[in-house]
A and B are shown apart, each in its own frame.
Chain A
Amino acid sequence: MKIDSKAIRELAELLDDTGLNEVEISEGDKTLRVSKGNGTVISASPMQALSMPSDPAEPQQANMNAPSSVASSHPGAVTSPMVGTLYLKPDPNSPDFVKKGDRVNAGDTLLIIEAMKVMNPIKAEKSGTITQILVDNGQPVEFGDVMMVIE
C-alpha cells in the first residue's frame, strides 16, 4: 500500500485551519480520512487510524469502553478535557483518587490523564458525591468522554 503522507499532512493542516475535527476525501476506490479529537491540550486520540484506503477501521478501545449511558450535558458529568490515557490512581500501588460514594470538594483531584508524558491531574469542578465512575484505570479517553458523575 502506498501511503500519501503529504496528503495526510495537508489534511491535518486543513483541520487546524478550519477548526474541523474530521475530513475525508475519496478518489476512485481510495478514501483518506484524517480526524482529530477536539482536545485542548493534545488533538489526536491515543490510538487512532489515520489512513485506511482499503482496510476496515480498527475498533477504538476508547469507544468500546467509553460510557454512553450518561450524556455529557448531565449537570454532574465530569468530561475529559483532552485525549490521552486515563489513570484513576497516582501510581499502581496507591488507592484510587476517589471511589463511588465519596464526597469530594471542588478542586480535589479525581484522576490523571496522560498525553505525551504530560500528566494532567483532573479536578472536581464542583463539590458533591461521586455517584458514577464510568471509566477503567489505564483506558484511553477522547475529548468530551464522560468519566464520572458528581451529584
Chain B
Amino acid sequence: MKFTIEYLDTASSTQDVVRQRLEADPSMQEGYVVMAKKQTRGYGRHGRTWESNEGNLYFSILLKPDTKQQNKIGLLALGTGLAVFYTLKPLMEQQDTHIKWPNDILVEGKKLSGILIESLLNKNNMPHAFIVGIGINIKSSPIKEATCLNDLSKKHHSSEEILDQFLKNFKDLYAQWNAGEFDKITAGYRACCIPKGQEISVKLPHKTHEGHYYDIDDHGNLILEKEDGSLASITSGDVYLCD
C-alpha cells in the first residue's frame, strides 16, 4: 500500500475532506491520507464533538479493501487500534497502557487516542470503501478524562513524526489483514488490550451491561463475562472501566 498525504492547516473534519476527494474522483486509490493541523468540526461516534485544537494529530485514511474480507471489518477496526498502540507505546514510560475495546488507547485510564471508521456503501448497501479517522492527543488533552503524549514522554513529538510512524505500523497490519492472517491481529490485540477480568460496563443507547472483560472473538466482538458467569458477545457499545 502506498500512501499519498495531503496536509491541511485547517479542515472542517479530515473525514469530510477524504469523502469529498473520493466523490470528486471515485477511482481514487486507497491509501489517500488527509492530515489537518486543526479541525473546526472534528467528530467522533454518533456526532460527538472531537475537540481539535492545533498541536494534536488529526487524520483520515481512505481504504478500499477486497470485498471478500469485509466480514472481518471488525478485525480491521481492532488492527487499526493496534497500529496506534504500537506507535505510541514505545514513546511512553507508563506501563499502564492498553487498548480499550474496540480501539481507544488508554494510559492510566485516560484516553490518548480515538478512532472512527465510516463505511461508504454502494446502492445495494455493500461497503465499497472505508474512511478511517484517527485523533491522537499529542500536545494537549481536550478534557480531564483524556491525556496527551507530550505529558507522558521524555521528549516532545510532532504530529508529522507520529503520523509517519503510524503509517509504517498500519501498513504492516493492513497487509496482515488483507492476507487473512487474522490470528496475528487477534494475538497482538490480546497482548495489548485491557486485562482479562477487568470490571467494565458497556453502555448501549437503551441498556447498560455490567461484567468483566473476558476476550474478543474471531470477528473482534467483545466477549463480556456477566455477573452470573455467562458469556455474551457484544458488537457495539461504549466500554467504561470500573475501579
Contact B47 A91 (CB under 8 A): yes
Interface residue A102 (Cβ < 8 Å from any Cβ of B)? no
Q: How large is the interface on A (under 10, 10 to 19, 20 to 34, 35 or more residues)?
A: 35 or more
B181 at the A interface (CB under 8 A): no
CB distance from A47 to the nearest CB of B (A): 6
Main DSSP-derived SS at the B contact region: mixed
B15, closest chain A residue (CB): A119
Number of B interface residues in the complex (CB < 8 A):
49
Q: Is the CB of A50 within 8 A of B70?
A: no
Option from A42, A50, A91 in Cβ contact (under 8 Å) with B232: A50
Whether, in the assembled complex, B36 has its beta carbon less than 8 Å from a beta carbon of chain A, the answer is: no
Bound CA–CA A1/B229 (angstroms): 6
Which residue of the partner chain A has the closest CB to B122? A123
In the complex, chain A residues whose CB is within 8 Å of the CB of B232: 47-50, 58
Check B46 against A120 for contact (C-beta < 8 Å): no
- Residues of B contacting A55 with CB < 8 Å? 228, 230
Interface-forming stretch among B88-96, B112-120, B142-150?
B112-120
Q: Assuming A47-B237, A116-B73, A125-B124, what are 6 further A-B pairs, CB within 8 angstroms? A: A51-B230, A61-B207, A107-B123, A112-B46, A121-B119, A123-B125
Q: Which residues of B contact A (CB under 8 A)?
A: 43, 45-48, 70-71, 73-74, 77-78, 102-103, 115-119, 121, 123-127, 130, 204-207, 209, 214-215, 217-221, 223, 225, 228-237
Interface pairs (24), CB distance under 8 Å: A1-B230, A3-B214, A3-B229, A40-B70, A41-B119, A47-B209, A47-B235, A47-B237, A49-B230, A52-B230, A55-B230, A58-B232, A85-B237, A93-B47, A106-B123, A114-B236, A115-B235, A115-B236, A118-B118, A119-B46, A121-B118, A125-B125, A138-B206, A139-B205
